[in-house]
Amino acid sequence: MNKKYHTKVLMVGVVALLAVSAFATIASANHSWGGYHWARTANPFTLKLGDNVSTAWDQHLATTSVDWSVSSVLDTVIVPILSNHKNCRPTAGRVEVCNRTYGNNGWLGIASIWVSGSHITQGTVKLNDTYFNTAKYNTPAWRQLVMCQEVGHTLGLDHQDEIFTNANLGTCMDYTNNPSTNQHPNAHDYSQLETIYAHLDSITTLFGKASSAGAARVADINTEDSSEWGKEVRKSHDGRSSLHERDLGKGEKIFTFVIWAD
């Protein structure tokens, strides 16, 4: 048996055992992000995560990459920052992961994906050190939850639950006031990825160029600015927006998920 495959099987088994009680209550739920997915011609596919983060975030990015690579349908690989990269601009065929002191704008982290039809073409994750430098959020648990959740969104996953006061589901795709047990994916996340990527495509968006509309406008769109997110699609249980959509025309859109600070 392939060593990597064998390791994945063992890790999935451990995750499944630890998450079985939560999984039983939500097994019928669907937390796909509208069916959006990376186009590819074979499974498992490899998605590049651009390392634009500081040393304080390096281990959390590494853990997140390993966690999501447990999936049977995909692997993630961390790649260096591009030499011409500025301000976490998106790059066709990959996800750029970035941190900065973005200011007291209210959000801890955002994940944005550019889509063409139903296919994800590029993505960004932004982590706001304005809050992660404070005593409440400057903890390994909070950093790991938000990193894991925002990267999960760029794979095509939605939240499993958006009520902060509910019991933890044991997944980073769950809103919570206490991230202690919500720092990694759970069995239902892996099952949902298998559903999302059950079919194959005749094209790939993992290596291609940005589409014309997206490329033309990307320089003018600053996703760290909430006024650029487009219309509000959904609110979480606390009444704050959790998902926005910006229509670029010609079947192309940007979706932005938001996790807010208290």
How is the chain split into domains, by residue range? 3-260
Tens-digit pLDDT profile for residues 245-261? 999 999 999 999 999 99
Among 61-65, 211-215, 230-234, which stretch is predicted with the lowest mean pLDDT?
Answer: 211-215
pLDDT at 208 over 60: yes
Nearest to 213 by CA among 247, 256, 255, 257: 247
The secondary structure of 64-89, three-state, reads: HHHHHHCCCCEEEEEEECCCCCCCCC
CA distances from 63 to 44, 71, 196 (A): 19, 14, 23
What is the spatial distance between Cα 130 and Cα 110, in angstroms, rounded to a whole number? 14
pLDDT at 6 over 80: no
- 127 contacts 101 by C-beta, under 8 angstroms: no
- Distance, CA of 160 to CA of 188 (rounded, Å): 9
Which CATH architecture is the domain 3-260 placed in? 3-Layer(aba) Sandwich (3.40)
Q: Is the pLDDT of residue 214 over 80?
A: no
pLDDT of 13 higher than 50: no
Instruction: For residues 225-245, give the mean pLDDT.
Output: 90
User: What pLDDT score does 240 carry?
Assistant: 87
Residues 40, 204 contacting (CB under 8 angstroms): yes
pLDDT band per the 50, 70, 90 thresholds, residue 84: low
Tokens read off for 28? 């019928």
- Mean pLDDT for the chain overall: 87
Tell me: pLDDT of 7 over 70: no
**Angle of helix 55-69 relative to helix 140-154, nearest 10 degrees?**
50
- Say if residue 27's pLDDT is above 70: no
